[in-house]
């Protein structure tokens, strides 16, 4: 990539787009739950504010330039003194403000890789000479964690989970299960393309895994606070995931074919996703960022996942946890992505809280079609082949199986899933399972 192009893209990816930023020195407060407020402004990393008798907890703390504005908003909403700040990652627009609150006695919490990333003094030649300067030591975390931690603040459970190698190598998502709110940091840029910090351990697989964590811990009522942009929903997070995978797949195939970055951009893979990418210019910038990362950072053997025929690409709406009740039983399914892009499913049936049936399922690509392999407990494996698949439904059949001979899934909005099994030799018997998305739990 020419140096001039890299320099242009650096400015575009790290600065808020003019169409969205407005007055960057203005912040607003949006109350999203009785004791939860989001302090935002697109150019400013969103701050989630939890208030109550124990004091105030913040998720992210703004840049040094704007933390005073955020502090004024806290005063205006009558927030008690800040006692905790949780950082979602190391970037200065989320961490520089730590110093103000740490100076007043607040505990600063971050994933254990944060301090090392914050203190780096390095120049990124591959990205237009981006100079990463060391952070003020006063803004460093006073407490770190490796994988996860759970706190009880103002009567709310606060679950913090590390997402490895995603936007950076030290990303954290913050989940308040009782309030049904997730702050997902820059793993989700709402109404703008994301920035993947390849030079701090960021990777596409981790970005997708972080979004999947959000999908697995959300339902139709969940509020998802992004790193930047308006508060979103599970449906908007799912749509963002579809965009991220689709563009990565398109660029990966161009890289594999030996195309130049200009040729990858000329193919315009972002056109179907324009509402999420702001403009054709920003779409081209994101294509260039993906092109660079796929060439320089993503191992070639890992790029096999990025193909339009994988179950992950064709059935992303299955991901997450689903639950329904039938005849006094609770039926649950959980769908996750396997590293090769296939899908792994777990089914559990409970009565009075006790497990009465379980099965594992695997959906894999087989040539141009999909295969569904079910392994019910105590029974032989049964394999079904996709008969029809659209962007919102899939049907698998096996006429030789006793029952069922047909299994179908249909997407119902962003938080609903209708499953159906059918078959039988003495007249078709059809069972319908109207699932709803549920949080998988604090895992």
Mean pLDDT to the nearest integer, 390-401: 95
Distance between CA atoms of residues 27 and 36, nearest Å: 16
Chain-centroid distance, C-alpha 269:
21
Distance between CA atoms of residues 442 and 242, nearest Å: 25
Four-way CATH pick for 318-438: 3.40.50.720, 2.40.128.20, 2.10.70.10, 2.120.10.30: 2.40.128.20
In this prediction, residue 303 carries a pLDDT of 74
8 Å CB contact between 324 and 443:
no
**What digits encode the pLDDT tens for the residues 329-372?**
999 999 999 999 999 999 999 999 899 999 999 999 998 899 99
Q: How confident is the model at residue 385 (pLDDT cuts 50, 70, 90)?
A: very high
Distance between CA atoms of residues 127 and 6, nearest Å: 5
Distance between CA atoms of residues 245 and 228, nearest Å: 20
Task: Supply 57's token pair.
Answer: 């907890």
Distance between CA atoms of residues 354 and 349, nearest Å: 8
In this prediction, residue 11 carries a pLDDT of 38
**What digits encode the pLDDT tens for the residues 279-321?**
999 999 999 999 999 999 987 766 778 999 999 999 999 999 9
User: Chain-wide mean pLDDT for the chain?
Assistant: 91
Task: Supply 371's token pair.
Answer: 């295969």
In this prediction, residue 378 carries a pLDDT of 76
Domain ranges of the chain: 3-237, 318-438
Q: How far apart, in Å, are the Cα atoms of 384 and each of 115, 138, 379?
A: 50, 59, 15
In this prediction, residue 371 carries a pLDDT of 97
Q: Identify the burial level of 355 via C-beta atoms within 10 angstroms of its C-beta, where 0-12 means exposed, 13-18 middle and 19 or more buried.
A: exposed
pTM: 0.93
**What digits encode the pLDDT tens for the residues 234-266?**
999 999 999 999 999 999 999 999 999 999 999
Distance between CA atoms of residues 345 and 335, nearest Å: 4
Which residues, including other chains, have CB under 8 Å from residue 175's CB and lie 6 or more apart? 158, 159, 160, 161, 181, 182, 217, 442
**What digits encode the pLDDT tens for the residues 30-89?**
999 999 999 996 567 899 999 999 999 999 999 999 999 999 999 999 999 999 999 999
In this prediction, residue 427 carries a pLDDT of 72
**What digits encode the pLDDT tens for the residues 136-167?**
999 999 999 999 999 999 999 999 999 999 99
8 Å CB contact between 343 and 335:
yes
Positive or negative, the CA dihedral 294, 298, 302, 306 is negative
Mean pLDDT to the nearest integer, 400-422: 95
Residues in the chain: 443
In this prediction, residue 127 carries a pLDDT of 84
8 Å CB contact between 181 and 225:
yes
As assigned by CATH, the class of the 3-237 domain is alpha beta
Residue 135 DSSP class: P
Distance between CA atoms of residues 103 and 247, nearest Å: 43
């Amino acid at each position: 990539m020419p140096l001039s192009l890299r320099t242009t893209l650096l400015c575009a990816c790290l600065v808020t787009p003019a169409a969205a930023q407005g007055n960057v020195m203005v912040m607003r407060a949006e109350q999203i739950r009785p004791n939860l407020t989001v302090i935002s402004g697109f150019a400013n990393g969103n701050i989630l504010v939890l208030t109550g008798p124990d004091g105030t907890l913040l998720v992210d703390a703004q840049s040094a330039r704007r933390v005073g504005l955020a502090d004024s908003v806290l005063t205006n909403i009558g927030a008690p003194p800040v006692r905790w700040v949780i950082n979602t990652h190391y970037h200065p627009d989320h961490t520089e403000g730590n110093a103000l609150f740490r100076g007043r006695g607040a505990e600063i919490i971050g994933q254990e890789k944060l301090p090392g990333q914050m203190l780096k003094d390095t120049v990124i030649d591959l990205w237009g000479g981006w100079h990463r300067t060391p952070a003020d030591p006063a803004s460093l975390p006073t407490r770190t964690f490796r994988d996860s931690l759970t706190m009880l603040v103002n009567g709310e459970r606060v679950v913090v989970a590390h997402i490895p190698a995603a936007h950076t190598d030290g990303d954290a998502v913050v989940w308040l299960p009782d309030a049904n709110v997730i702050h997902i940091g820059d793993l989700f840029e709402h109404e703008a393309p994301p920035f993947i910090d390849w030079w701090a351990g960021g990777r596409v697989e981790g970005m997708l895994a972080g979004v999947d964590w959000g999908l697995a811990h959300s339902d139709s009522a969940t509020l998802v606070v992004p790193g930047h942009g308006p508060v979103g929903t599970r449906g908007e997070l799912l749509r963002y995931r579809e965009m991220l995978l689709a563009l990565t797949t398109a660029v990966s195939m161009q890289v594999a074919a030996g195309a130049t970055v200009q040729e990858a951009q000329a193919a315009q893979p972002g056109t179907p996703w324009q509402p999420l990418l702001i403009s054709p210019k920003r779409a081209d910038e994101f294509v260039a960022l993906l092109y660079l990362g796929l060439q320089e950072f993503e191992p070639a053997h890992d790029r096999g996942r990025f193909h339009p025929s994988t179950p992950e690409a064709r059935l992303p709406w299955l991901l997450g946890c689903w639950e329904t009740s039938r005849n006094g039983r609770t039926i649950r399914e959980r769908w996750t992505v396997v590293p090769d892009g296939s899908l792994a499913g777990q089914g559990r049936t409970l009565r009075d809280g006790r497990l009465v049936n379980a099965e594992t399922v695997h959906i894999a690509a087989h040539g141009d079609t999909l295969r569904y392999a079910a392994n019910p407990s105590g029974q032989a494996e049964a394999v079904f082949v996709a008969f029809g698949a659209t962007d919102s439904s899939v049907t698998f059949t096996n006429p030789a199986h006793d029952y069922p001979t047909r299994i179908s899934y249909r997407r119902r909005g962003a938080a609903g899933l209708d499953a159906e099994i059918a078959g039988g030799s003495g007249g078709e018997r059809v069972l319908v399972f109207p699932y709803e998305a549920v949080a998988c739990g604090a895992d």
